[in-house]
Structure 1
Amino acid sequence: MNDPTPEEIAEINARILALETEHRDMDKAIEHLTQTGYPDELGLKRLKKRKLTIKDEIARLKMTLMPDMPA
């Protein structure tokens, strides 16, 4: 795999920042739902699943920024 260009690195970093913001927003939404008297269990499950997907995507993108290690 080739190393990303400076433009690709900038795009990846911007995507990571956007995903991190969305991940924090998911935290707030989950907290809000759990603090209400009648949490929407299905909605909570969907938010938590989306939050995990975002976390995985952030990790994947960060891995693309790491230089390849020789075997």
Structure 2
Amino acid sequence: MTTTSHLNALERRHASLDEQIHQEMQRPAHDEIKIGMLKRKKLELKDEMSRLQAQTRQ
């Protein structure tokens, strides 16, 4: 897998997590623990994307 395709896959997963968070928050009795876990995973993906982008600039 190339760096570009890996970055694209990470961006899709990041967007998917964003949608999951949005959907969970729309529920009347949303699960704060689940939302927190999704947000942490989203942040991990963003950090990984930043590292990959920094590597491609070198």
Q: Same fold (TM over 0.5)?
A: yes
Determine the structure 1 residue equivalent to 2:49: 58
Structure 1 residue ranges (4+ consecutive) displaced by more than 6 angstroms after TM superposition: none
Determine the structure 1 residue equivalent to 2:32: 41
Q: Identity rate of aligned residues, in percent?
A: 31
Q: 1:22 aligns with which of 4, 9, 13?
A: 13
Higher helix share: 2
Structure 2: which 5+ residue stretches go unaligned?
A: none
Structure 1: which 5+ residue stretches go unaligned?
A: 1-9
Q: Could you state the TM-score of these two structures normalised by the residue count of structure 1? A: 0.78
| SS of structure 2 residue aligned to 1:54 | helix
1:29-50 residue CA offsets vs partner (Å, 9 max, x unmatched): 0000000001111110000000
Across the aligned residues of Structure 1 and Structure 2, the Cα RMSD in angstroms comes to 1.0
Higher-Rg structure is 1
> Is structure 2 residue 23 aligned with structure 1 residue 32?
yes
Aligned residues: 58
Q: Could you state the TM-score of these two structures normalised by the residue count of structure 2? A: 0.95
